[in-house]
Amino acid sequence: MVSIVVVRRVKPVPYFIVPILALLIGIGVSIVILFFLTGYMVQPMDVLVSIWTGLTQPNVIANIFLILTIVGFSLAMSFKGGLYNIGGEGQFWMAAWMIVWLVFTTPIIVSQTPLVSKLVALATGFVAGFAWGLLAGILRGYVGVDEVPLTLMMNYVAYYLIDWLVMLPGRPWRDIYGYAKTRSLPQTLQYSIIPGTTVSVEMILVTIVIGFLIWLILDFTRLGLTIKIHGSNVNLLRSAGYSVPLTAALALALSGGFIGIAGILYLCGVTPSIRIPVETTTSGFGYLGILVTWLSMLELFAVPIAAYVVSSLYNAGFTLMAIKGTQQAGVTAGVTNVFMGSVLLMYALLITISEYEIRIVW
Amino acid sequence: MDAALTGFLDILISSGGLFVAFYLMALGHSIVEKSGILNLAIDGMFALSATLAFFADVYYGNDLLKSFLLPAVVIALFGLFMAFVLTKFPVSHGAVGLSLMFLMYGLSSVIGYGPRIVQATMPNFSPGVSLSLEERIAGYLTMVALSIFAYWFIEKTKIGVSIKASGEDPAAAEALGVNVLASRLVAAAIGFSMIGFGGAAYMNFYVRLWDERAVILSGYGWLAFSIALSGGRHPLVVLLTSLIFSMLVHSSLQLVAWYGISRELSYSLPFIVAIISMTIYMATPLRRLLASPKGLGRIYFREERTV
Amino acid sequence: MEKSSQAIFSSNPSPKTPIIRVENIVKRFPGAVALEDVSVEFYEGTIHAILGENGSGKSTLVKIMTGIYTPDQGAIFYKGRKVTIENPIKALSLGISMVSQSPVLIDRLTVAENLMLGLKQLGIFASPKSVLKLFEEIMEKIGIRVDPEEDVWKLTYTQKQLVEIARALMLGSKVIILDEALTYLPLEERRKFYRYLIEFKSKGGLTILITHKIPEAFEVSDKITVLRRGKHVGTVKTSETNVDTIREMMFAERAKEITLERLMDGVPGETVLEIRDLWVKNDFGTYALRGISLDVKRGEVLGLAGIVGNGQVELAQALMGLRNVERGSIIVYANGRSYVKPATKTLREIGVGYIPDQPLSHGVSIDYGLRENIAVMPGYTGPVINWGRLTKLAREFIEDLMIVTPSAKTPLKYLSGGNLMKSLVARELDLAKSALVAYNPTRGLDEVTSIKVRRIIKEKVVNNKIGVLLISEDLDEIFQVSDRIAVINEGKIVGLFDAKSARREEVEKLMVM
């Protein structure tokens, strides 16, 4: 009788082993899946080449990389608190919606200088994301609703709300020609691309500042410590006199706020209008960010590295679609989910070997 | 008054297919979770099972048997894997569940497009069957019978108590002589295949078309999750919550016609109601009366240190 | 040995073949060797005690015998045949069952549902009602009254332990292992079980009794095996040895340091903690405390004795603001004023320390180091954290209590159990400027460390004039540290004594009633 025994390790293995293994095995699994499910249309080489293309052409993935980095940092804040913020999509898009709404209904933003209006836009994004996250945070902290289905369903609510609001007839944000999108943001808000690249100075700056800020909060403030302790031992937090519900609510809200900033960066730096229906046009940064944060093992410095890799994976999906015949075989934007799911699954399984040793006994 | 009653009955009957789908998914999910396995993959499983049912319909000429069996078997296999890994290794239930969810979304999109294109070349082809009034009523009655059987199975048999014990406290259960792995595998085999049947029912009896928005992006798996949770995972109570949601979802289009709210807004309604129902469950004595298993989602690791 | 027609093993039990033999067992845990080359023989028709202090490996040994752990090296022989016991079910199939200190019965199920789980003779579709008859018979035999359709959470600790013994019998066990199952019960309660164990022995059954209390080993056992630091020191016949020899075997050179003698006297001053007519509910909605009134004075230790499950958990939590008070008052006197029903945060700020019953789950975060565990407490940091200052403070604690750790920021999960406890005690004692609520502060620690911790607490009481409420299920500890002793039973205070003049039998009697 063979039996499997699991024992705690004396010293954990170097932490980068797990993400790298997860990536390699996960991509391997994806290759197998795609090969067989598309009737051999997608060859292993195709997949590897498309991933490699992304990795070696930073210009192509630069914007996605920056946005995923911010989302990765933001999610680290809630994940470290033991709270799975799956609502990144909702927080992202509500922030995007908020800026569109503000820009086209009040003169507050557009009447300022470009610099000030961009700053106000970022602040707006933070507030919107914070509010959307706080809603979930209150229900999770004070009522105890599981944040995973809660934040996820709030994504759907956000999608549909925005779909509805954008298409309301006769509103100032409606596209002039009646297309299923909002009007574009004014030039003063749009970021200018650095010549020779695909990114803007604003995006790079904001990403760095946010990363720094989140690091400061988590490692050097009492608030950050309470969030981390919430993720480690809720009872300790309580017996130290802190309000556990408030800590949970704040962790989710802050996480949402910073993701909201990512939403603003997207609108100002990548696509200046919201296209409807949101649920099909979204790139899914809120979900991809989860992969980034987990692959970075919740170590902040590893977030950009993980973001870079995930951007390449995301891009690989599109590269594959461009290959002749694959679209008919089923390769669509959904392919990214195959990559994401496989890598994430391998990560979830392999993370055990970093803390535990697995023995076979007979 | 009469018009309201007729309207109510109309919706009751026409949402029958959706009710069957929701109840099967929610009941299967409840059984799985009673054994202690947190199932966050449910929406992915819903998408994949509906897609597989569609696949079978298109390629096997609307053979309902295959259309139901294929998803049930596939989802059960995934589920058995989940149950095995989560019991034998100290792995996070949430992480495994979510990753399977994404993977299954991806699989659904890859598997679905092929038959969809084939279907486009088959004029007058429609997946599944259009249910008659008698068939819908039979559907309701079958679900009621199923609920009674499930209740007996969980509460009044040794295997059911073993499943419950595994969900409350697997370490204690094992010390009491329960084969926790076997119990969870049994719960998984039954529960996950039911989820597969549920997705197949959705495709064959209700929506009868395949596109991303109807299947992958619908989020109905999460509605089933809330249905199960607010019903306390109790086979009989979940009948009620399934009914409420199936009627609500089905009538959201009606609400567009009656009250003139926009279509998109009506899509958000079921989710808002789901959030409210989960809140009600957690904030009221329901939480204690129909308590969730104490060990749900807890990592089961036997060689723990002692202080 | 009487031969009985209902003999458990054979009609001719041979005293020469051991029923269970463990040979050269080695078991390692991260950073420590729990068992080193241990070999012991157990015979049928015996009550065999395994004595050792906390950390000696005795619990590990029986967990290996019941399939909860697997040995790294070594073999187990059952009736002369080599066996591997890879999980509790295998152990049960061999007829080995265990009753441990904390009941394994599942609270939310009924007694009958719990009992049916291990019974192989019941089919998978059998109803819980099918165990009722068998259970009634056994209840008669052991002499207990428990309603099998009752939810387990409603039973008392003693009832739960008795049900577990009943279960062992229903399963037809040939070997019953009691892992400190009776250690925290008063002698009178233990006697209820002994009656049964002696009968079990007469039918040839083997009882293995694990304990760290020497008197308990002498109460009913035929043989005593002593483990020390994971090694088998020796096995002797109880009738051929005495307490001093056993002490020598258990503690060797440290035997002199280990004493259960009373520590120094406290010097009671003004009241620091005043509890009046306290009513508190438990997790299941019934009253755990029914009108408790107590005073704790500065400069004294008030020990609260009682069997587990009589409201101690709820009292500690209510005092610390972690549980609702339905009726009654709690007043803390500090900083020249009185604080009525202070919130947890306030309590910490005015200097009330808390050593919870389960330090791992309530007292520390094992993912972070000592300095983070200090920083989380109010009063040690402002909104921005000064790690330099905190690291320095942590290093002081490490030095003062001789905590073995690589650094002030090494995650506590890499520390041994004893050092983790010391970290918690160090922090709480530093925080405790007014009072300390300590619940089983030395549970699981080895004797030397336990005595050290108790001494440090008492010194702080006398030197810094704090008041300590010491809640403990270990009566030896209560008598050693307290100045006054109160007894709690079913949520009420049933006795209050001066520690020096209190008689142990009287206290024990009140614990049981």
- The set of chains that have 3 or more CB pairs under 8 A with A is B, C
Task: Write the DSSP assignment of A149-198 as a string of letters.
Answer: HHHHHHHHHHHHHHHHHHT-TT-TTB-TT--SBBPPPPTTTSPPBPTTSS
For residues A193 and A200, what is the distance between their CA atoms, to the nearest angstrom?
4
Q: Residue A359: inside a domain, yes or no?
A: no
For residues C333 and A181, what is the distance between their CA atoms, to the nearest angstrom?
66
Between residues C195 and C338, the one the model is more confident about: C338
Residue of A nearest to C349 (CA): A241
Shortest Cα distance from C437 to chain B (angstroms)? 19
Q: Residue A111: inside a domain, yes or no?
A: yes
Report in angstroms the alpha-carbon separations of B77 from A176, B186, B191: 52, 12, 11
Specify the residue for token string 């002030």.
C408
Reported as a single tens digit per residue, the pLDDT across C344-380 is 999 999 999 999 988 888 899 999 999 999 999 998 9
The three-class DSSP label of residue B227 is helix
Of the listed ranges B74-83, C187-196, C307-316, the one predicted with least confidence? C187-196
Q: Which fold has domain C266-351+432-513?
A: Rossmann fold (3.40.50)
| Chain-chain contact of C122 with B174 (C-beta, under 8 angstroms) | no
For residues A288 and A337, what is the distance between their CA atoms, to the nearest angstrom?
9
Q: Looking at residue B181, what is its pLDDT?
A: 94
- Does C6 score more than 80 pLDDT? no
Helix (H) or strand (E) run with residue A85 in it: none
Confidence of residue C390 (pLDDT cuts 50, 70, 90): very high
- Across chain A, mean pLDDT equals 91
Specify the residue for token string 């995973």.
A148
Q: Is C118 on the interface with B (CB under 8 A)?
A: yes
Over pLDDT 90: what percentage of chain C? 49
| Chain-chain contact of B302 with A342 (C-beta, under 8 angstroms) | no
Mutation for A interface: B40, B109, B181, most A CBs within 10 A: B109
Beta strands in C104-242 (DSSP E): 175-179, 206-211, 223-228, 231-237
Show which of residues 205-244 on chain B sit within 8 Å of chain A, judged by CB atoms.
Answer: 212-213, 216-217, 219, 222, 225-226, 229
* Contact by Cβ (8 Å): C37, C231: yes
Do the two domains C20-256 and C266-351+432-513 of this chain adopt the same fold? yes
Cis peptide before A277 (omega within 30 of 0): yes
Q: Is A239 on the interface with C (CB under 8 A)?
A: yes
Show which of residues 203-232 on chain A sit within 8 Å of chain C, judged by CB atoms.
Answer: 220-223, 225-226, 228-229, 231-232
Q: Residue A78: inside a domain, yes or no?
A: yes
* Contact by Cβ (8 Å): A300, A214: yes
Residues 6+ apart with CB under 8 A from C497: C484, C485, C486, C487, C506, C507
* Contact by Cβ (8 Å): A73, A272: no
Amino acid making up residue A114? P
Shortest Cα distance from A69 to chain C (angstroms)? 25
Mutation for A interface: C82, C324, C365, most A CBs within 10 A: C365
| Chain-chain contact of A9 with C362 (C-beta, under 8 angstroms) | no
| Chain-chain contact of A225 with C347 (C-beta, under 8 angstroms) | no
Reported as a single tens digit per residue, the pLDDT across A107-121 is 887 788 888 899 999
Q: Looking at residue A33, what is its pLDDT?
A: 93
Q: Residue A317: inside a domain, yes or no?
A: no
Helix axes B158-168, B180-201, angle to 10 degrees: 100
Shortest Cα distance from A351 to chain C (angstroms)? 16
Helix (H) or strand (E) run with residue C264 in it: none
Q: Looking at residue A122, what is its pLDDT?
A: 95
Residues 6+ apart with CB under 8 A from C189: C158, C182, C307, C512
CA B190 to chain CA mean position, Å: 12
Beta strands in C142-222 (DSSP E): 175-179, 206-211
The domain containing residue A224 runs over which residues? 62-301
| Chain-chain contact of A341 with B283 (C-beta, under 8 angstroms) | no
* Contact by Cβ (8 Å): A289, A71: yes
Mean pLDDT per 10-residue interval, chain B, length 307 residues: 82 91 98 97 97 94 94 98 94 95 95 88 85 91 96 94 95 90 97 97 92 89 96 96 94 78 87 96 91 92 53
Backbone phi and psi for residue B37, each to the nearest 5 degrees, phi listed first:
-90, 120
The CATH classification number of C20-256 equals: 3.40.50.300
Q: What number is the average pLDDT over the span C239-245? A: 89
For residues C88 and C487, what is the distance between their CA atoms, to the nearest angstrom?
37
Q: Looking at residue A234, what is its pLDDT?
A: 95
Q: What is the sign, positive or negative, of the torsion defined by CA atoms of C228, C231, C234, C238?
A: positive
ipTM summary value: 0.93
- Does C342 score more than 70 pLDDT? yes
The domain segmentation of chain C, as residue ranges, is 20-256, 266-351+432-513
Q: Looking at residue B177, what is its pLDDT?
A: 86
For residues A134 and A91, what is the distance between their CA atoms, to the nearest angstrom?
10
- Does C29 score more than 70 pLDDT? yes
Give the residue among B107, B87, B48 at the shortest CA–CA distance from B179: B87
Domain count, chain A: 1
- Does C14 score more than 90 pLDDT? no
* Contact by Cβ (8 Å): A161, A135: no
Q: Residue A324: inside a domain, yes or no?
A: no
First to last CA, chain C: 35
Shortest Cα distance from A51 to chain B (angstroms)? 17
For residues A281 and A275, what is the distance between their CA atoms, to the nearest angstrom?
7
Helix (H) or strand (E) run with residue B108 in it: helix B93-120
Q: What number is the average pLDDT over the span C63-89? A: 89
Reported as a single tens digit per residue, the pLDDT across A290-342 is 999 999 999 999 999 999 999 999 998 888 888 877 777 778 878 899 999 99
Amino acid making up residue A4? I
Burial call C458-497: b when 16+ CB within 10 Å, e when fewer = bebbbeebbbbbbbbbbbebbbbbbbbbbbbbbbebbbeb
Reported as a single tens digit per residue, the pLDDT across C136-161 is 888 887 777 889 899 998 888 888 88
Over pLDDT 90: what percentage of chain A? 65
Q: Residue A197: inside a domain, yes or no?
A: yes
Q: What is the sign, positive or negative, of the torsion defined by CA atoms of A16, A19, A22, A26?
A: negative
* Contact by Cβ (8 Å): B114, A329: yes
Q: Residue A296: inside a domain, yes or no?
A: yes
Q: Is A238 on the interface with C (CB under 8 A)?
A: yes
- Contacting residues of B for C88, CB less than 8 Å apart: 174-175, 177
- Contacting residues of A for B265, CB less than 8 Å apart: 160-161, 164
Residue of B nearest to A140 (CA): B279
Report in angstroms the alpha-carbon separations of B220 from A28, B242, B268, B270: 31, 12, 12, 9
Q: Residue A315: inside a domain, yes or no?
A: no
Confidence of residue A208 (pLDDT cuts 50, 70, 90): very high
Residues 6+ apart with CB under 8 A from B157: C124, C125, C126, C127
The three-class DSSP label of residue C290 is strand
Q: What number is the average pLDDT over the span A13-17? A: 83
Backbone phi and psi for residue C227, each to the nearest 5 degrees, phi listed first:
-110, 140
- Domains of chain B by range and CATH? 2-289 (1.10.3470)
- Contacting residues of B for C107, CB less than 8 Å apart: 168, 294
- Contacting residues of A for B217, CB less than 8 Å apart: 279-280
| Chain-chain contact of B109 with A334 (C-beta, under 8 angstroms) | yes
For residues B208 and B50, what is the distance between their CA atoms, to the nearest angstrom?
10
Reported as a single tens digit per residue, the pLDDT across A227-256 is 999 999 999 999 999 999 999 999 999 999
